[in-house]
Amino acid sequence: MMRTRPLKVALLGCGVVGSEVARIMTTHADDLAARIGAPVELAGIAVRRPGREREGVPSELITTDATALVKRGDIDVVVEVIGGIEPARSLITAAFEHGASVVSANKALLAGEGAALHALAEEYDADLYYEAAVAGAIPLVRPLRESLAGDKVNRVLGIVNGTTNFILDRMDSNNAGYSEALDEATALGYAEADPTADVEGFDAAAKAAILAGIAFHTRVRLDEVHREGITEVTAADIASAKRMGCTVKLLAICERAADGRSVTARVHPAMIPLSHPLASVREAYNAVFIEAEAAGRLMFYGPGAGGSPTASAVLGDLVAVCRNKVNEATGPGESAYTRLPVSHMGEAVTRYHISLDVADKPGVLAQVATVFAEHDVSIDTVRQGRNQSGGDAVAFEQGGGGRWEGGEASLVVVTHRAPEASLAATVEALRNLDTVRDVASTMRVEGE
Amino acid sequence: MMRTRPLKVALLGCGVVGSEVARIMTTHADDLAARIGAPVELAGIAVRRPGREREGVPSELITTDATALVKRGDIDVVVEVIGGIEPARSLITAAFEHGASVVSANKALLAGEGAALHALAEEYDADLYYEAAVAGAIPLVRPLRESLAGDKVNRVLGIVNGTTNFILDRMDSNNAGYSEALDEATALGYAEADPTADVEGFDAAAKAAILAGIAFHTRVRLDEVHREGITEVTAADIASAKRMGCTVKLLAICERAADGRSVTARVHPAMIPLSHPLASVREAYNAVFIEAEAAGRLMFYGPGAGGSPTASAVLGDLVAVCRNKVNEATGPGESAYTRLPVSHMGEAVTRYHISLDVADKPGVLAQVATVFAEHDVSIDTVRQGRNQSGGDAVAFEQGGGGRWEGGEASLVVVTHRAPEASLAATVEALRNLDTVRDVASTMRVEGE
């Protein structure tokens, strides 16, 4: 029953991912044809540098005119793996206008222009698939928008950036500082020469926007994602986390508010307990933890980047889109019917781990505890170097984290869950106390 | 653009899963309609005991005549959650004949009759979806047959039975014996009164047959799956595993042979290293680890059973099948084009952990090592209570596991990878050695 006219695919970009897509399309052509129900053929590959050596990539397919390629009129599917906003956006738009469906691995574009691109796809009755844009080879977009389509997702908690996970993992296992771990990541090829997009959380924020949109059937703009990177994470923070039975991860967190009427999306480093499944995600691996009303707790784990894994996700989408073409159908499009507003970070509810440098004298703990109480932030535990007084109401344990220099002591406070805004106001008020020399670090505690 | 004629769903079975499906279809009707693009309505619920109290299930929909329900002619989708071969098979057949698509959670039926049911679905241009049949809420069928459709899966290694994982987890963490751990599982509702299907590996074998078929695009019959349960696993095996830095899990293993020309599917207890992601799957959770050529190592984790998680998977399929109905299309059907033969267990390649009770005299190790060599099975490590001689060629470590009673010693041998048949022949020959009093236990070692 296999149709004989092959489906024609235009490949935009032939770097690490593109060349692997081209290679697999060639070497596994029979398998792809059997799974699609029609042969599939690479019709052209648009590149910027045509002279570059590309092993296993048919040179007669190479062109530098991407626009002409997508406008040829006989292209069934355009695979976009060039990244960035332009020219990717214009090329995808032209692809839809000329009858093609699109498979993209472009997280920045999907996070920034997803709504407009989905509208175009719908207008032209075409597919827009982008599994590879979030966490590489790990199936996430499809499980969220199809497998969990009959469920209600309440929370997505993910390690979606391999570079930062590698750095934090090294800081944790080797007691390395941030710069030292970054150097190692760079040397091993896990971090780019300019690591900003990774270490400042931009990459993770784009993925968080995409995940939140799919998970909650709404639209989340990139600028609605609260973003903090890992550059401020210190060896002391990691050590503090260890003392609490935690480790530090850069998390992308998408949550439905308790009343169900809004959502939040945020990216920041956080402490999570070692018993949490995400804590054991090592090196440059990615993993996404999903809490759904009926399904319960699910986790998806795998390589979040790299040529082959990303190509695997692209090709899975390519098979699906080609099948749809053969069946003259389209897959599920954007689902944003809930139109849930995205709340400010101040409304996110979380726990805080706060390290304070305080004056080493009686009554400080009482003062500090009062500030927390005034902001309605309930304290879970306090750790200090020695018992400062007997009169304070809060419980505390005698820990090993105290530091005593010139009349200073350190105080570590872990709070119960409270709105981010209350926690921020508490920290602000603590800074204004005479007895608090410095708020040495604040970090959220998640995953409980 | 929403069509107004509702899609009609017949629900077969209203037990733990069915009642949850009915409840969610009622309480989340608006969400389901938005995601499908058409309202969806429960048209009837077939049960065996109509008098039973079912909270939240509309009693006017209850019928005892399942056959009449699926033959009504206006049913779009039949959801089958009664389990077992008959009457499920006849009802699903009638459903296809009367124009319905089918969502099933029935692993026994899919494993035993999957090929025939897929053929029927194709004949009637209908969908047959069964995500809930394998590992409950964990998306596996869809990721394997869609997300990885452009990749080549080489290996599936799964904990797909929650009851046995709970029992083995308790044996590991509480040093409990098998019976004691089974009793606890029964008391907590994790094991049924007759636990045979779980503890003898029948349930896992059905899932292995389904997973192997989808992963390798071929057909694997239930009787082609090698099956061993956990009833013979002893506290001593668990202790032995611990000494090796391993834990014992009941694994479903589906592998492509090294030459790619055949596959194997097997279910048996095995030791896996604590560093393997599957080792940390505790209690009744399930997880499936997949190795694919391009994607690399992926893992999917979640609750493998229970009313709500299974209902989540059923409803995800229901949304997909309803969308297909709205689009007058069908999703991907069976993909069995590779027609790879299923090899006998003897051809599976694995490692072995063998505990021997041997005579406490010089030269035994040399004899034992010779038997391994004669069968071309290479020894990785040997552990014994004391250094028996200096003349043996194999390396060994001085371990704590030796046992010295009336001239007996214990010897623990861990092999390198070798064909199962060679390992079995080695064990047989060891039994025939005068100096070997008993082969106390043999267990495979996986996950490296």
pLDDT by residue (tens digit) across B251-289? 999 999 999 999 999 999 999 999 899 999 999 999 999
Q: Which residues of chain A have pLDDT under 70?
A: 1-4, 385-406
Nearest to A24 among B147, B150, B299 (CB): B150
Contacts of A150 in chain B (CB under 8 A): 24, 28, 32, 35, 312, 314-319
Where in chain A are the domains? 7-133+308-326, 141-303, 348-445
Q: How many CB pairs below 8 Å do chains A and B form together? A: 192
Contacts of B316 in chain A (CB under 8 A): 146-151
For chain A, what's the residue count? 448
Strand partners, A436: A358
pLDDT for the residue B2: 59
Which of the residues B8, B71, B152, B207 is marked catalytic? Answer: B207
Q: Which amino acid is at A67?
A: T
Whether A8 is catalytic: no
**Confidence band for B56, pLDDT divided at 50, 70 and 90:** confident
Nearest to A294 among B308, B317, B324 (CB): B308
Nearest to B316 among A31, A146, A311 (CB): A146
Q: Could you give the C-alpha distances from A390 to A152, A409, A414, A415, in angstroms and in order?
A: 48, 17, 20, 21
pLDDT for the residue B391: 33
Contacts of A142 in chain B (CB under 8 A): 139, 142-143, 146-147
pLDDT for the residue B407: 73
**Confidence band for B384, pLDDT divided at 50, 70 and 90:** confident
Is A249 strand, coil or helix?
A: strand
For A30, other C-beta atoms within 10 Å of its C-beta total 11
Nearest Cα of chain B lies from the Cα of A331 at a distance, in angstroms, of 9
Domain B7-137+308-326 has CATH 1.10.8.50: no
Contacts of B328 in chain A (CB under 8 A): 329
Nearest C-alpha in B relative to A310: B295
Q: Which amino acid is at B208?
A: A
Q: What is the mean pLDDT of residues B411-415?
A: 94
Cβ(B256)–Cβ(B266) below 8 Å: no
Of residues A375, A317, A391, the one with CA closest to residue A110: A317
Q: Could you give the C-alpha distances from B188 to A233, A298, B109, B283, in angstroms and in order?
A: 43, 22, 28, 11
Cβ(B180)–Cβ(B321) below 8 Å: no
* Fold assignment, A141-303: Dihydrodipicolinate Reductase; domain 2 (3.30.360)
What residues have CB less than 8 Å from B188, skipping those under 6 apart?
A: B166
Q: Where are the alpha helices (DSSP H) in A292-419?
A: 307-326, 364-374
Nearest Cα of chain B lies from the Cα of A309 at a distance, in angstroms, of 4
Nearest to A312 among B277, B294, B313 (CB): B294
CB-facing half-sphere around the CA of B300: CA atoms within 13 A:
26
Nearest C-alpha in B relative to A286: B298
pLDDT for the residue A406: 52
Contacts of B27 in chain A (CB under 8 A): none
**Confidence band for B51, pLDDT divided at 50, 70 and 90:** confident
Strand partners, B45: B11, B62
Nearest C-alpha in B relative to A125: B327
Cβ(B247)–Cβ(B172) below 8 Å: yes
Contacts of A299 in chain B (CB under 8 A): 299-302
Task: Kindly state the percentage of chain B with pLDDT values over 70.
Answer: 94
For A400, other C-beta atoms within 10 Å of its C-beta total 8
A138 at interface of B, judged by CB pairs closer than 8 A:
yes
**Cβ-defined contact of A309 to B295 (cutoff 8 Å):** yes
Nearest C-alpha in A relative to B309: A295
pLDDT for the residue A401: 41
pLDDT tens, position by position, B312-361: 999 999 999 999 999 888 998 899 999 999 999 999 999 999 999 999 88
CA–CA distance, A87 with A311 (Å, rounded to integer): 21
Nearest to A298 among B24, B138, B297 (CB): B138
**Confidence band for B399, pLDDT divided at 50, 70 and 90:** very low
Nearest Cα of chain B lies from the Cα of A374 at a distance, in angstroms, of 41
pLDDT for the residue A446: 95
For B35, other C-beta atoms within 10 Å of its C-beta total 24
* Centroid of chain to Cα A46: 29
State both tokens at A142: 């499809």
CA–CA distance, A360 with A363 (Å, rounded to integer): 9
State both tokens at B272: 């896996």
Contacts of B218 in chain A (CB under 8 A): none
Domain A348-445 has CATH 3.30.70.260: yes
Q: Which range has the worst mean pLDDT, B1-5, B120-124, B171-175?
A: B1-5
Task: Answer yes or no: is pLDDT of B394 > 90.
Answer: no
Nearest to A137 among B137, B298, B332 (CB): B298
Architecture of domain A7-133+308-326: 3-Layer(aba) Sandwich (3.40)
* Fold assignment, B142-303: Dihydrodipicolinate Reductase; domain 2 (3.30.360)
B139 at interface of A, judged by CB pairs closer than 8 A:
yes
Strand partners, A415: A379
**Cβ-defined contact of A296 to B314 (cutoff 8 Å):** no
pLDDT tens, position by position, A51-96: 888 887 888 999 999 999 999 999 999 999 999 999 999 999 999 9
Contacts of B323 in chain A (CB under 8 A): 332
Q: Which of residues 86-115 of B touch A (CB under 8 A)?
A: none
Q: What is the mean pLDDT of residues B367-378?
A: 96
Q: Which of residues 290-329 of A touch B (CB under 8 A)?
A: 292-303, 306, 308-309, 311-320, 323-324, 327-329
**Confidence band for B406, pLDDT divided at 50, 70 and 90:** low
Cβ(A284)–Cβ(A366) below 8 Å: no
The residue ranking higher by pLDDT, B230 or A391, is: B230
Nearest Cα of chain A lies from the Cα of B14 at a distance, in angstroms, of 17
CA angle B91, B116, B142 (to 5 degrees): 90
Q: What is the mean pLDDT of residues B126-133?
A: 97
CA–CA distance, B83 with B107 (Å, rounded to integer): 8
Contacts of B332 in chain A (CB under 8 A): 35, 323
Q: What is the mean pLDDT of residues B225-246?
A: 94
A139 at interface of B, judged by CB pairs closer than 8 A:
yes
Is B311 strand, coil or helix?
A: helix
State both tokens at B124: 């009637």
Nearest Cα of chain A lies from the Cα of B365 at a distance, in angstroms, of 40
* Mean pLDDT, chain B, whole residue set: 92
Is A438 strand, coil or helix?
A: strand
State both tokens at B112: 């035993």
Q: What is the mean pLDDT of residues B117-143?
A: 95
Of residues A94, A48, A41, A49, the one with CA closest to residue A72: A94
Q: Could you give the C-alpha distances from A62 to A181, A234, B446, in angstroms and in order?
A: 39, 47, 45
DSSP conformational letter for A144: I
Residues A236-272, buried b or exposed e (16+ Cβ, 10 A)? Answer: ebbebbeebebbbbbbbbbbbbeeeebbbbbbbbbbb
Does the structure's ipTM exceed the value 0.95? no
Task: Answer yes or no: is pLDDT of B58 > 70.
Answer: yes
Of residues B315, B6, B283, the one with CA closest to residue A153: B315
- Quickly list DSSP for A148-207: TTTS-EEEEEEE--HHHHHHHHHHHHH---HHHHHHHHHHTTSS-SS-HHHHTSHHHHHH
Q: B7, B31, B151: best mutation site toward chain A, by most A Cβ within 10 Å?
A: B151
- Cis before B6? omega within 30: no
pLDDT tens, position by position, B76-106: 999 999 999 999 999 999 999 999 999 999 9
Nearest to A139 among B147, B152, B303 (CB): B147
Q: What is the mean pLDDT of residues B291-306?
A: 95
CA–CA distance, B167 with B178 (Å, rounded to integer): 7
